Chain A
Amino acid sequence: ETGVTQTPRHLVMGMTNKKSLKCEQHLGHNAMYWYKQSAKKPLELMFVYSLEERVENNSVPSRFSPECPNSSHLFLHLHTLQPEDSALYLCASSQGNTDTQYFGPGTRLTVL
């Protein structure tokens, strides 16, 4: 796959589990994003990393913990989630903040 990849594509987890979502971009970009898309709601920006530093944290609960070890990889660590956290989680990347964002295929998360 080229562009932006995400794994896993589907994830089912219990409220006490710990899991991680992975995103990798192959575009040479320097900014990466996590979004949440719930049913019948607009996409919500969660986190933005620019040059591996977090530049946006959109009032996201601490049970979501991002990590950006380098400019190509972005993780979202999940722990003690709630059923209302079930959603499509989308990763994106861009070159700076004045250019096109490219999205990955998303991880569809279900919390039981």
Chain B
Amino acid sequence: GIQVEQSPPDLILQEGANSTLRCNFSDSVNNLQWFHQNPWGQLINLFYIPSGTKQNGRLSATTVATERYSLLYISSSQTTDSGVYFCAATFSGTYKYIFGTGTRLKVLA
């Protein structure tokens, strides 16, 4: 079946460090989003990025649809960046978003 895989599963950073999170998907995507889930469970939109590159402050994302992966870059990390980062994708024009298993990030002060 269609799969969305994320790596690494866990990441510990010192404040100020940079990181790259990866999302691989097994088929051509129609939609792709990156989310940050905070410790209280709230999922916050970071990017809607089925293709191309976007930047928002210290965060940026790139999706290379032809090679079936997306990357989320976090620069100058802060303790408030801690939480779980998910990518989610739909395939073949459906509403059915499939979520990856997430990358759990902890940023140490």
B102 near A33 with CB under 8 A, answer no
B42 near A103 with CB under 8 A, answer yes
5 A-B pairs with CB atoms under 8 Å apart are: A90-B41, A98-B30, A101-B45, A101-B97, A105-B40
A106 near B30 with CB under 8 A, answer no
B45 near A43 with CB under 8 A, answer no
Q: How far is the CA of A97 from the CA of B95 in the complex (A)?
A: 5
Interface of B is mostly: strand
**B interface bracket (residues with beta carbon within 8 Å of A):** 20 to 34
Chain B 34-78 near chain A by CB (<8 Å), digits 1 or 0: 010000111111001000000000000000000000000000000
A42 near B33 with CB under 8 A, answer no
**A interface bracket (residues with beta carbon within 8 Å of B):** 20 to 34
Q: Which residues of B sit under 8 angstroms from A92, Cβ to Cβ?
A: 43
Q: How far is the CA of A103 from the CA of B45 in the complex (A)?
A: 8
Partner-contacting stretch, out of A11-19, A48-56, A74-82: A48-56
Q: How far is the CA of A56 from the CA of B93 in the complex (A)?
A: 13
Indicate whether A99 sits within 8 Å of B41 (C-beta atoms), given known contacts A48-B96, A50-B95.
Answer: no
Chain B 1-12 near chain A by CB (<8 Å), digits 1 or 0: 000100000000
Q: Which residues of A sit under 8 angstroms from B88, Cβ to Cβ?
A: 43, 101
B95 near A33 with CB under 8 A, answer yes
Within 8 A of B (CB), among A19-41: 31, 33, 37, 41
Instruction: List 9 other contacts, CB 8 Å, given A42-B102, A100-B33, A108-B41.
Output: A33-B97, A37-B41, A42-B4, A42-B99, A45-B96, A48-B96, A100-B48, A101-B88, A103-B42
